[in-house]
Amino acid sequence: MTDTLSPPADPAAQSAPRVGFVSLGCPKALTDSELILTQLSAEGYQTSKTYAGADLVIVNTCGFIDEAVKESLDTIAEALADNGRVIVTGCLGAKTAEGGGNLVKSLHPSVLAVTGPHATQEVMDAVHANLPKPHDPFVDLVPQSFGVAGIKLTPRHYAYLKISEGCNHRCTFCIIPSMRGDLVSRPIGDVLKEAQALFEGGVKELLVISQDTSAYGVDVQYRTGFWNGKPTKTRTLELVRALGELAAPHGAWVRLHYVYPYPSVDDIVALMADGLVLPYLDVPFQHSHPDVLRRMRRPASGERNLERLARWRESCPQLVVRSTFIAGFPGETEEEFEHLLDFMRQARIDRAGCFAYSPVEGASANALPDPLPQVLRQQRRERFMAVAEEVSSAKLRERVGATMQVLVDSAPALGRKGALGRSYADAPEIDGVVRLLPPEKISKTLKVGQFTQARIVGTEGHDLLALPI
Ligand code: SF4
């Protein structure tokens, strides 16, 4: 179970109703969990680390790929078996069963309630109906709370900041818009207020997430909002600049995820070159061949991505690009796949992930002609990853001898036996890490959530080996 809260010692607290919480899925689902947990704690509910100790259990599900659906359904079954009182929320909750009706309800009719993603109020209504609110909220007892930013399920030194919900695109392999709806950008003042609270609460790395970060504000025609009494446009450039300015006095990092390669990103890369936010871009290219991109109906599919990447690197030489790709999309010819391999070699993507195409129930790509056999999809994925690893290892080796700033994620015995951290080139969970050797100086200690300078002395797979200095 995902649960970072410990039971408080206060006797009043011990009689408070207890909710178990399981959070599955991507960082966007995690931020939904954080909102629900924040609301629960604000109303005085406690959380339980075990199914048995909970009065009811909330399962936040993922419905993106078939494996995630299975994991979610298994978790619901487990919670029902061990506790019996279960509320389901999240992407899987929005799915329809084959014969119509709600999928979760049809498979598990005894669940108390089912909601879709991003539905804090509906979840809270279901909680109230099944487990009445305690009389005396004791908000202060909740650890990991960041004031207006609420509870975070990430380690205290980094946090995800969700700037919008939903997506206006209709990529043929994706069902997110049908589950999460069209793009809804959060007001810029609210986003910045949350970021400020997080930095003030000790967050050293803020990870900006959404389905399409470059589209922030499109739905409200880049409406002018207010931040610190000043008019500020609801637009990615203004947001990123303000986040960089907020982070600076705390010496904190700002990292951008899910940025599509629109021309407007050139201005954001300029902010990276100026050191305002990390020179790291997570750009989900998915493919390079224009025909495949068209069949995928990808945003920015007409962009000349190689030229754009070259320009970005020229203006910001330290830029690190992470991306994800799909191999074996329906109709992908050997020539189209070779185009992707050439793109990978020329684009020199620092960090690449690749999925063998897998049909997602309800996605329109399932109706495309010429699906590839599963074996071929897997083979292409492996061929892609072999090229990606060559590129990535070569890029990592170029770092040997350099001194980098590293954020420490784990440091048993104050790092005396070594520690794990990340440089600006590594996002948590998805990229490699920096393996820190024990410091040579006896007086030097390493602490979680602190930065250290480190000299890179070698590479190990996707990771760097470094000596703290
Ligand atoms: S951009 Fe495409 S893949 Fe991403 S959420 Fe929107 S529809 Fe899905």
- 151-197 pLDDT, tens digit per residue, is 778 888 999 999 999 999 999 999 888 888 899 999 999 999 999 99
Q: What percentage of the chain has pLDDT greater than the value 70?
A: 93
pLDDT at 140 over 60: no
Nearest alpha carbon, ligand 1 atom 1 = 169
How far away, in angstroms, is 182 Cα from ligand 1 center?
10
Q: Which residues pair with 321 in a beta bridge?
A: 281
Q: Which residues pair with 224 in a beta bridge?
A: 233
Confidence of residue 335 (pLDDT cuts 50, 70, 90): very high
Residue 304's pLDDT band, with cuts at 50, 70 and 90, is: confident
Band of pLDDT at residue 465, cut at 50, 70 and 90: very high
In the predicted model, is pLDDT for residue 221 greater than 80?
Answer: yes
Residues near 90 by Cβ (< 8 Å), separated by ≥ 6? 24, 25, 29, 32, 59, 60, 61, 62, 63, 72, 115, 116, 117
Q: Tell me the CA–centroid distance for residue 167 and ligand 1, in Å.
A: 6
How high is the pLDDT of residue 7? 34
Q: Does ligand 1 have an atom closer than 6 angstroms to the CB of 181?
A: no
CA atoms within 13 A on the CB side of 201: 24
Q: How confident is the model at residue 143 (pLDDT cuts 50, 70, 90)?
A: very low
Distance CA 1, CA 3 (A): 6
- CA–CA gap between residue 79 and residue 59 (Å, rounded): 8
| Arithmetic mean of pLDDT over the chain | 90
Could you tell me if 328 and 372 are in contact, meaning their C-beta atoms sit under 8 angstroms apart? yes
Is the CB of residue 45 less than 8 Å from the CB of residue 18? yes
Residue whose CA lies nearest to ligand 1 atom number 8: 174
More confident residue, 452 or 175: 452
Element (H or E) spanning 88, and its range? strand 86-90
Mutate to test the pocket of ligand 1, among 64, 65, 176, 213 (most ligand atoms within 8 A of CB): 176
CB 435 within 8 A of CB 466: yes
Please give the pLDDT value at position 367.
93
Q: 450 burial class (0-12, 13-18, 19+ CB within 10 angstroms)?
A: middle
CB-ligand 1 contact for 171 (6 Å cutoff): yes
Nearest alpha-carbon partner for 257 in 429, 2, 116:
429
- Quick check: CB of 174 below 6 Å from ligand 1? yes
Instruction: Give the model's confidence band at 266: pLDDT under 50 very low, under 70 low, under 90 confident, else very high.
Output: very high
- State if residue 214 touches ligand 1 by the CB under 6 angstroms criterion: no
Element (H, E) at 467: strand 463-468
CB of 320 closer than 8 Å to CB of 350: yes
**Virtual torsion, Cα 59, 65, 66, 67, nearest 10 deg:** -70
| Token pair of 377 as six digits | 């999809």
Asked if 464 and 456 count as a contact pair (C-beta separation under 8 A), the reply is yes
Q: What is the pLDDT of residue 250?
A: 96
Query: What tokens were used for 194?
Result: 């949350």
Q: How far is CA 159 from the centre of its chain?
A: 10
Identify which has the larger pLDDT, 69 or 336.
Answer: 336
Higher pLDDT, 363 or 3: 363
> Is residue 415 within 8 Å of 404, Cβ to Cβ?
no
**Cα(210)–Cα(188) distance, integer angstroms:** 14
316-328: pLDDT as tens digits:
999 999 999 999 9
Run of H or E including 355? strand 351-356
Q: What is the pLDDT of residues 407-425, one digit of tens each?
A: 999 999 999 999 999 999 9
Q: Percentage of residues in the chain with pLDDT exceeding 90? A: 71
* pLDDT tier, 137 (very low <50, low <70, confident <90, very high otherwise): very low
CB of residue 212 inside a 6 A radius of ligand 1: yes
Does the pLDDT value for residue 12 go beyond 60?
Answer: no
Which residues are 356's β-sheet partners? Answer: 327
pLDDT at residue 146 in the model: 66
Pick from 162, 164, 165, 167 the residue to mutate for probing ligand 1's pocket: most ligand atoms within 8 Å of its CB: 167
* Tens-digit pLDDT profile for residues 430-448: 999 999 999 998 889 999 9
Number of neighbouring beta carbons within 10 Å of residue 382 = 12
Answer whether 156 contacts ligand 1 (Cβ < 6 A): no
Looking from the CA of residue 298, the nearest atom of ligand 1 is: 2
Choose one of 26, 118, 212, 364 to mutate for the ligand 1 pocket test, by most ligand atoms within 8 angstroms of C-beta.
212
Structure tokens at 449: 């959530």
92 Cβ partners below 8 Å, 6+ apart?
61, 62, 63, 68, 69, 72, 73, 103, 104
DSSP string, 43-66: TT-EEESSSTT-SEEEEEE--SSH
